[in-house]
Amino acid sequence: MTTTSYPRSRGRAPFRPGGTLILIAGAIYCLVPVAWVFIAASKAPNELFSTFTFAPGSGLISNIKDLFAYQDGQYWYWVGNSALYSGVGAVLSTLVSAMAGYSLAKYTYRLRGVLFYSFLVGILIPGITLAVPQYLLMSKLGLAGSQLSVLLPVIISPFGIYLSYVFARSAVPSETMEAARLDGASEFKIFRSIGMPLMVPGLITVFLLTFVGIWNNFLLPFIMLSDQDKYPLTLGLYTLLAKGSGEPALYSLAITGAALSVIPLVALVMVLQRYWRVDLVSGAVKG
Amino acid sequence: MTTVAQTAPPKTRRRRSVQNHGSAPYWLIAPAFILFLAFMVIPIIYTVWLSMFAYRVDSGGGILAKRVLSFVGFGNYKAVMSDSAYATGLLHVLLYGIVAVPILLGLALIFALLLDTVGVRSGGFSRPAIFIPYAIPGVVAALLWGFLYLPSTSPISSITEALGWGTVPFLNLPWIYGSLANIAVWGGVGFNMIIIYTALRSIPGEVLESARLDGASEVQVALRIKIPMVIPAIVLTSFFALIGTLQLYNEPQTLRTMSSAISPTWVPLMTIYRDAFMTDNLPRAAAASVLLALITVIASVIVMAIARRRSAK
């Protein structure tokens, strides 16, 4: 499980140009569409279809102004909603998963086995096939169309629970918990001040996976929401694109909106991936 | 997947633990349990229940005829299985998966092995660069690639046109399969690469060192030692790829705004959406959801079983 460095070769390795070239080609393949969206965002609507694809245009500022002016600044609602659904959803989901994983890993109790295997089966059930019945239940509760209808179903994550379980099992020593008990600490205090801090690297992983998962979500808000002011970014950009086939000026807005939406998430992922523990994900199947 | 016995403490301690800890473990798991019940178990039961019924117009007549649910057993399942929209949807997913999954996993494995090979440079730049698409939602990825495919904005088409070959029909059949697969490969290769790379990094240095001392080349080390040792990580990535393929929805739905080759029922999830919200046939959508979930579970179990048999050898 460790990723510490150890000698992997003798002496100085000879430079391998072939392999290096393949890796750089892969990097370029992954960066080109990202570079394109920023170049295209700089093109005025009349330049989009007339100038060479990778030639920068002159319309960046006016595109951004048009985007922010669209439907009285609806773009900001989409940004805010995406941040709300992903931020609050991922924090709550990580917390719920941490508590459940810790409970399953560090205690022995009667229903533990049943719960554990129920969650395991839950990993296999594709969440997306539940979207339609979730919508029906939300309508019965009178919540369909509200922001809660998108937020609540994403908090439960069987995979997050499983990862937290794997991590709690290896990172939280039972001896430390026992010592704290002898000192008279309550079980909740032990979870808060010993369990949670030790689980932080694993929880960052769970948080990042959940955050990106919710940010990517499309079908659930597509089914649940009808008010465009409650849309997340994915759904908002999709609407712009869908309307754009009849009104090409909206294509420029969709492209500019996509370019701006890429920045914060790439930044977040790049920062957090330094701290996350992918070995937890790959180690999870080894059991 | 895991063993519970491994974690069970000795018996005497267990008995004492149960007494001392009281209700704490139950309180800790309660939020997850309640949400699991509300948003997974109950929807599943409700879907299965609903899939056994059908709407019948009440014979009261008149404009205000009421629709009532009546039991039809497996009728909806028969209807779904004989509905050509679902059959062709599955076929599309299958064709797409045959193109996308091997390329996705193959490239991820190659990149991970190269990152782990001594003498191969540029890792500090290439690793984060290849990972960046992970942060870009499928809808946005489809939007980006859609414009790179669209004849009037595609850089490739502008080159082929300048050469007098005309535009490349990326958004028409049969190219559309490759175009969709490319979006999946682009979006997924970095994440899968990182999973496999992390597994490669945990191979003990001595194992690799002794193989090199025996005169094995880097390619031989990769084929004979590294790949066999990261099979669990490769199984995990195939598992993710499989689930992602069966749930294909965001990308074709987005590309549909640019391509006439994608029908409104191009993948099973699009047909489920049509049945549930456009033709208002919820029971049939429920039956199709159950079938799709079953196919996913069965396919996952098969992948796991093959993996287990392989590793037992």
Residue in chain A lying closest to B253 (CA): A238
CA–CA distance, A252 with A44 (Å, rounded to integer): 7
CA–CA distance, B171 with A247 (Å, rounded to integer): 20
Interval A212-241: pLDDT, tens: 999 999 999 999 999 999 999 999 999 998
- Residues 241-270, chain A, touching B (beta carbon < 8 A): 241-242, 244-245, 251, 254-255, 258, 261-262, 265-266, 268-270
State the burial class of residue B233 (Cβ atoms within 10 Å of its Cβ: 0-12, 13-18, 19+).
Answer: buried
Three-state secondary-structure class, residue B67 = strand
Hey, which residues does B71 pair with through a beta bridge? Answer: B53
Neighbours of B213 (CB within 10 A): 9
CA distances from B235 to A124, A176, A213, B192, B286 (A): 15, 35, 21, 11, 30
> Do the beta carbons of residue A272 and residue A208 sit within 8 Å?
yes
Angle (CA) A127 A130 A134, round 5° = 125
Query: Looking at residue B67, what is its pLDDT?
Result: 77
Q: Which residue ranges in chain B fall short of pLDDT 70? A: 1-20, 58-65, 311-313
Ordered alpha helix ranges (H), B202-230:
205-213, 218-221, 227-229
Question: What domains are there in chain B, each with its CATH number?
Answer: 77-312 (1.10.3720.10)
Query: Three-state SS string across A148-204, please?
Result: HHHHHHHHCCHHHHHHHHHHHHHHCCHHHHHHHHHCCCCHHHHHHHHHHHHHHHHHH
CA–CA distance, A207 with B145 (Å, rounded to integer): 28
Residue in chain B lying closest to A267 (CA): B135
Q: Is B1 on the interface with A (CB under 8 A)?
A: yes
Ordered alpha helix ranges (H), B116-174:
123-131, 138-149, 155-162
When CB atoms are compared, the residue of B35, B46, B208 closest to A96 is B35
CA–CA distance, B270 with A48 (Å, rounded to integer): 31
- Residues 146-175, chain B, touching A (beta carbon < 8 A): 146-148, 152-155, 158
Query: Looking at residue B34, what is its pLDDT?
Result: 97
Three-state secondary-structure class, residue A143 = coil
CB contact under 8 A, A122 and B36: yes
Q: Which residue ranges in chain A fall short of pLDDT 50? A: 1-7, 10, 286-287
The predicted complex's ipTM stands at 0.89
CA–CA distance, A152 with B31 (Å, rounded to integer): 12
- What is the total residue count of chain B? 313
CB contact under 8 A, B132 and A30: yes
CB contact under 8 A, B269 and A100: no
Give B189→chain A minimum CA distance, Å: 9
- What is the total residue count of chain A? 287
Sign of CA dihedral A200, A204, A209, A215: positive
Give B73→chain A minimum CA distance, Å: 19
Nearest residue to A130 (alpha-carbon basis) of A106, A158, A105, A109: A158
- The whole-model pTM stands at 0.88
Torsion of CA A269, A23, B105, A214, to 10 degrees: 10
Q: B55-79 burial, b for 16+ CB within 10 Å, e for fewer?
A: beeeeeeeeeeeeeeeebeebbbeb
- Residues 244-283, chain B, touching A (beta carbon < 8 A): 246-247, 249-250, 253-254, 257-258, 269, 272-273, 276-277, 282
State the burial class of residue A1 (Cβ atoms within 10 Å of its Cβ: 0-12, 13-18, 19+).
Answer: exposed
Q: How far is CA B107 from the centre of its chain?
A: 17
> Do the beta carbons of residue B195 and residue B113 sit within 8 Å?
no
Question: What domains are there in chain A, each with its CATH number?
Answer: 22-68 (no CATH), 70-284 (1.10.3720.10)
CB contact under 8 A, A245 and B258: yes
Q: In angstroms, how far is the first alpha carbon of chain A from the final one?
A: 12
